[in-house]
């Protein structure tokens, strides 16, 4: 009885000691990250504007789930993740404004949750700075409220790598392991091949350290997120190898390609640089791109000196593997392709920035802080200038599609209808028509099927500037809508 009382007293003391230690440890304050996420969301709504019409790729993804537009052709490289992401809104509403607001709020919440996965690994000021750097890039602000996959791959990468490092630091904690599963699943859900590239360093480290639970989490997340894509490969493309081969063909043949200069050209606000010709943007616009890896390396040096190498080296390694296919294995560029790399590089970059501010002593510290602040202000100015220019140009282009759709309605091309030829997918969506192609990356029909459709419903063929109309449409009446030549099939029944 005495022994039992003594054991109970000892256990009580241990609990009191643990509670005292927990009380002395400062509680994690998530408010700065919440403020950052709120500002990021608001900036998207103000600068990108919810009235921005849907783009080509967005139309492909959202049309798969809408009931008010025919589904556009879904090619081999694409994954259904974005379609499921927008389903809560796009499945019942055709309001672009509502969809933009929904995605802006969701992207802000996702950034907050992703950065929270890194709590305990870095001081809050590092995480806030990293999040602010990534969120202030024009490509992040521009694509945050859009139905596109790359931002969500970046979020999944932050969640997966942060969860992996936290589980390694405390193997008894189950939460970080589930973060690994969630992050890798989100990446694979959006772009399976990107998920594999990001996860390569995680697999290598887990194998080297015989971290079997981490390996299982990585494999389970990739399987859960990529299962639908693999199943669809067999049901719609003849197998996984066939789908990968078709995806490679559509992207110009994956292999050894130097796309670094293509990525540089896209930094001026080109959503898709294919073919990537023309002059380079002004050096002021591309300067940050060269400084970024230098700051990341400085952040790693700082981490080595502070004996926290792994938590900085791992995101740097994952950022490198995420960028490799888009810098050296593809023959064109889009700035959004590197969003996962930018998100992961933001961690060591934030460390470097704080080191530059705090390392100098005496009278040099205020000067260093002022210099860093001036550089960041200039960087933010450049990013906002490119963003405004990109948004304005994109708005004009998508309004042109809407105006073309209105003119097609005036010509009698109304749903149900079919468009073929030049930009038939986006213009077809705005018109309410199906889109068809007899060749190319979006081939989904034949000449015979088009002519049979013309006997039942309105059909029009669009020819862009300098283009040649297809042979089957040359006898059709010709109309001009801006610089687009429109040939409308004779009215069915005549």
Q: How far is residue 145 CA from its own chain's centroid?
A: 10
Query: 347 with 410, same domain?
Result: no
pLDDT of 15 > 90? The answer is: no
Give the pLDDT mean for 400-417.
96
The model's confidence at residue 8, banded by pLDDT at 50, 70 and 90, is very low
Domain-ending residue, one of 359, 383, 406: 359
Query: 258 with 355, same domain?
Result: yes
Is 14 within a domain? no
Is 125 within a domain? no
What does the block give as tokens for 125?
């000021």
Is 122 within a domain? no
Domain-ending residue, one of 313, 343, 359: 359
Q: Express each pLDDT in 272-309 by its tens digit.
A: 988 888 889 999 999 999 999 999 999 999 999 988 89
Is 343 within a domain? yes
Please report the DSSP string for 432-452 in residue order. Answer: T-EEE-SSSTT----HHHHHH
Q: Express each pLDDT in 206-243 by its tens digit.
A: 999 999 999 999 999 999 999 999 999 999 999 999 99
Give the pLDDT mean for 46-51.
96
What does the block give as tokens for 283?
């050096």
The angle that helices 192-208 and 175-190 make with each other, rounded to 10 degrees, is 150
Q: Give the C-alpha distances (Å, rounded to integers) separating 121 from 19, 21, 404.
A: 22, 19, 53
Backbone angles phi, psi at 147, to 5 degrees: -85, 70
CA–CA dist 74, 90 (Å, integer): 17
% the chain with pLDDT above 70: 94
Q: Give the C-alpha distances (Å, rounded to integers) separating 453 from 122, 351, 461, 471.
A: 61, 61, 13, 16
| Domain, as residue range, for 461 | 395-488
Is 449 within a domain? yes
Query: 404 with 355, same domain?
Result: no
pLDDT of 22 > 60? The answer is: no
pLDDT of 463 > 90? The answer is: yes
Domain-ending residue, one of 359, 384, 415: 359
Give the pLDDT mean for 437-444.
93
Number of domains in the chain: 2
What does the block give as tokens for 184?
């890798």
Is 493 within a domain? no
Is 261 within a domain? yes
Is 44 within a domain? no
Query: 267 with 353, same domain?
Result: yes
CA–CA dist 359, 79 (Å, integer): 46
């Amino acid at each position: 009885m005495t022994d039992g009382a003594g054991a109970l007293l000892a256990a009580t003391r241990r609990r009191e000691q643990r509670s005292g230690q927990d009380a002395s440890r400062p509680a994690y304050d998530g408010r700065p990250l919440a403020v950052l996420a709120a500002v990021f969301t608001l900036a998207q709504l103000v600068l990108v504007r919810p009235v921005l019409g849907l783009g080509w790729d967005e139309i492909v993804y959202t049309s798969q789930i809408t009931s008010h537009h025919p589904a556009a052709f879904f090619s081999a490289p694409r994954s259904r993740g974005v379609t499921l992401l927008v389903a809560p809104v796009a499945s019942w509403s055709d309001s672009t404004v509502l969809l933009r607001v929904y995605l802006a709020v969701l992207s802000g919440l996702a950034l907050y949750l992703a950065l929270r996965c890194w709590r305990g690994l870095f001081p809050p000021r590092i995480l806030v700075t990293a999040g602010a750097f990534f969120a202030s890039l024009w490509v992040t602000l521009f694509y945050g409220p859009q139905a596109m996959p790359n931002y969500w791959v970046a979020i999944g990468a932050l969640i997966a790598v942060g969860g992996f490092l936290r589980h390694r630091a405390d193997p008894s904690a189950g939460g970080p392991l589930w973060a690994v599963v969630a992050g890798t699943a989100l990446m694979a859900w959006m772009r399976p091949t990107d998920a594999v590239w990001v996860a390569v360093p995680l697999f290598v480290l887990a194998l080297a350290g015989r971290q079997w639970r981490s390996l299982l989490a990585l494999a389970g997340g990739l399987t859960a997120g990529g299962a639908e894509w693999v199943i669809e490969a067999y049901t719609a493309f003849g197998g996984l190898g066939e789908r990968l081969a078709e995806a490679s063909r559509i992207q110009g043949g994956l292999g050894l390609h130097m796309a670094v200069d293509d990525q540089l050209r896209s930094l001026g606000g080109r959503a898709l640089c294919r073919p990537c010709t023309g002059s380079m943007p002004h050096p002021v616009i591309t300067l940050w791109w060269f400084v970024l890896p230098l700051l990341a390396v400085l952040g790693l040096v700082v981490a080595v000196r502070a004996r926290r190498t792994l938590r900085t080296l791992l995101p740097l390694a994952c950022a490198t593997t995420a960028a490799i296919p888009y810098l050296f294995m593809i023959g064109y560029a889009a700035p959004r392709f590197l969003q996962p790399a930018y998100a992961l590089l933001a961690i060591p970059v934030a460390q470097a920035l704080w080191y530059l501010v705090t390392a100098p002593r005496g009278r040099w510290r205020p000067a260093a802080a002022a210099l860093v602040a001036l550089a960041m202000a200039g960087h933010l100015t450049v990013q906002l200038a490119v963003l405004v220019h990109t948004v304005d140009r994109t708005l004009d282009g998508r309004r042109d599609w809407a105006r073309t759709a209105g003119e097609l309605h005036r010509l009698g091309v109304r749903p149900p209808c079919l468009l073929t030829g030049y930009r038939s997918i986006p213009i077809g969506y705005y018109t309410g028509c199906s889109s068809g192609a007899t060749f190319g990356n979006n081939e989904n029909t034949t000449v015979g099927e088009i002519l049979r459709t013309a006997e039942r419903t309105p059909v029009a063929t669009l020819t862009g500037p300098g283009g040649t109309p297809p042979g089957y449409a040359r006898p059709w009446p010709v109309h001009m809508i801006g610089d687009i030549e429109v040939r409308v099939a004779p009215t069915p029944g005549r």
